[in-house]
Structure 1
Amino acid sequence: MRLPIIAGAAGLGLLAVAVTGCGAADMTKQASPYAAAQGARTVTLSTQSWVGAQANVAVAQYLLEHELGYRVDTVQVDEVPAWDALSQGRVDAILEDWGHPDQEKRYVDDKKTIVRGGDLGVTGHIGWFVPTYFAEAHPDVTDWKNLDKYADRLRTPESGGKGQLLDGSPSYVTNDKALVKNLDLDYQVVFAGSEAAQITQIKQFAKEKKPFLTYWYKPQWLFQKVPMTEVKLPAYKEGCDAEPDKVACAYPHTPLQKFLNSGFERNGGKAAAFLKNFRWTTEAQNDVSLMIAEEKLSPREAAKKWVEANESTWKAWLPK
């Protein structure tokens, strides 16, 4: 994705390789020394920069270490480069993928170096959102056909005289530039640069009760702090986003998926079985995300707190 807030992956593992921005890492040259270590009780997890992905990894790491006795390493790498790293065995698993059909066809169907690890249990959805206080005052803003009516009110110094559509990182799954062009909207996509920077801007707008239009996604803990209402884009239909430059429809609802290196899936023993069993709810992910992003717990502390309170849930993930 999205999606993705906390600087680096520090605290998530014994070693973290930081990248400067989504899409910037070359994992053909970077890797954990423990990835694909034959016979060793080690696991290397890819973690993306958004906090929901960090929550998955934090809980999986805590349980792998404390319940199954593995040493866990994490590598922070962006969405598309992570597929290449996973294919080469430089990481063992991706726990949250928002949909990359080209990569899936290449590595899962054709090369068979990656296998599907099953549903995460969380459904992701990207969309355009306005603050609920603005939607309640101007109900028609929630239909894309009326957005130009409010372009002047959504203008910022960064948007070049047009209304601003605030995005996070240009490496996230986004069709927004094509949507603005193909729907002929008087808006400019402005990238905050990261999920953290985007959240900071949204919070500032909300504090001042200013209107804003933003790319955002569910699940995400920020909805609990800044209520937002989705703008209805033209309905999504299968294949309407097949040609990136021609997209003129809403984003789909995407059951988020896990993927494992095929060698790790065969030889990873209880760790591989556990990761395939790992499946939780949107609410659970948001609980851990909120602890990390808002309560400022370290990912390890947040995972420990959640694990201690939810034994009946995670016990089912442990291999028999």
Structure 2
Amino acid sequence: MPEPRPSRRTTVAALAAATALALVTGCGAADMTRQSSPYAAARGAKTVTLSVQSWVGAQADTAVAGYLLEHELGYRVDTVQVDEVPAWDALSQGRVDAILEDWGHPEQQKRYVEEKKTIVDGGELGVTGHIGWFVPTYFAEEHPDVTDWKNLGRYTDRLRTAESRGKGQLLDGSPSYVTNDKALVKNLKLDLEVVFAGSEAAQITQIKQFAKEKKPFLTYWYQPQWLFERVPMTEVRLPEYTEGCDADPEKVACAYPHTPLRKYLNARFADEGGRAAAFLKKFHWTVEAQNEVALMIAEDKLTPRQAAQKWVERHEDLWRPWVG
């Protein structure tokens, strides 16, 4: 998730995520930190390699795109899991062909798209992402002033946990996500401790447990995300975002922006990838569509392939224009 974002999401959760990713396509997924796909950038071959991020929304993108590439266009699809910033290096080098959900990385965009020209913009995904701080709606209704960051100090005692070292807890996801939260806590002079759950799955588990017990909590979270349908949450107003207010990571003292999520393709693949490249450029869906697939994966426990198949069977009117 984002460049200020998740930049997108302990062990059991990591294993579950890896298992889900392996089922995105019949060809499995590889860990990009250990190896690259043998099918990426293969000249003349009907193969496509997609980078898939760890959060379930990105898994939904890749599952549906991969399913259609295989079943409608006849391609072999391989997937690799890699963190957000390294994914740009892999894409530039042709080790993957496409990233379907980028939350905004201006340094990488400048380097690879504008200067090296090894990556091309594949257009908007159709989903706008936003990161923020959230409290459960049941707590916001009981204490409406908690939705203003200036009042968080009044609730330090209610937000304290065993991991927060005597301060109020601000729950984050994976340490690999790009987040401004430590700088925000410091620069806004808040008596909070950023505590990393370890992954999106672990963070969801913790949020659900808090909600089950009706406990107050403060968490870094992002939209779109299916969990809002299960645990209603209300955003805490941070100082207003203005262009450039997050330029210096050490001095950030403003809210996260709203970011139209984008796709990026390896430049050679964009030129030589034929119908696959054309399809990925056209792939453009809604928050509702993404959440429908994500919910089937995360809550209904379908494999990404099963969820993609169900969505494709229900929504031919939406995907047919993508395949031409």
Q: Normalising TM by the smaller chain, what interval?
A: over 0.9
How many Å separate the matches in 2 of 1:311 and 1:75?
Answer: 27
Q: 2:137 aligned with 1:124, yes or no?
A: no
How many Å separate the matches in 2 of 1:164 and 1:84?
Answer: 34
The equivalent of 1:311 in structure 2 is 316
Q: How does 1:10-159 map to 2 (within 5 A)?
A: 10-13=22-25, 14-18=27-31, 26=33, 30-159=35-164
Please report how far the alpha carbon of residue 15 of structure 1 lies from its aligned counterpart in structure 2 after TM superposition. Answer: 2.9
The equivalent of 1:259 in structure 2 is 264
Q: Where does the alignment leave 5 or more consecutive residues of structure 2 unmatched?
A: none
Letter in 1 for 2:23: G
Please report how far the alpha carbon of residue 234 of structure 1 lies from its aligned counterpart in structure 2 after TM superposition. Answer: 0.2
Q: How does 1:181-192 map to 2 (within 5 A)?
A: 181-192=186-197
Contact kept? 1:15, 1:32, Cα under 8 Å: no
The equivalent of 1:296 in structure 2 is 301
The equivalent of 1:200 in structure 2 is 205
Contact kept? 1:98, 1:257, Cα under 8 Å: yes
Q: How does 1:264-283 map to 2 (within 5 A)?
A: 264-283=269-288
How many Å separate the matches in 1 of 2:172 and 2:149?
Answer: 17
The equivalent of 1:213 in structure 2 is 218
| 1:251-302 deviation digits (Å, cap 9, x = unpaired) | 0000000000000000000000000000000000000000000000000000
Please report how far the alpha carbon of residue 134 of structure 1 lies from its aligned counterpart in structure 2 after TM superposition. Answer: 0.1
Q: 2:241 aligned with 1:236, yes or no?
A: yes
Q: Where does the alignment leave 5 or more consecutive residues of structure 1 unmatched?
A: 19-24
Please report how far the alpha carbon of residue 10 of structure 1 lies from its aligned counterpart in structure 2 after TM superposition. Answer: 1.3
The equivalent of 2:17 in structure 1 is 7
| 1:112-133 deviation digits (Å, cap 9, x = unpaired) | 0000000000000000000000
Contact kept? 1:278, 1:317, Cα under 8 Å: yes
Please report how far the alpha carbon of residue 205 of structure 1 lies from its aligned counterpart in structure 2 after TM superposition. Answer: 0.2
The equivalent of 1:22 in structure 2 is none
How many Å separate the matches in 2 of 1:155 and 1:79?
Answer: 31
How many Å separate the matches in 1 of 2:146 and 2:321?
Answer: 45
* TM-score (normalised: structure 1): 0.96
How many Å separate the matches in 1 of 2:156 and 2:41?
Answer: 52
| 1:130-175 deviation digits (Å, cap 9, x = unpaired) | 0000000000000000001001110001000000000001211210
* Aligned residues with identical type, % of pairs: 77
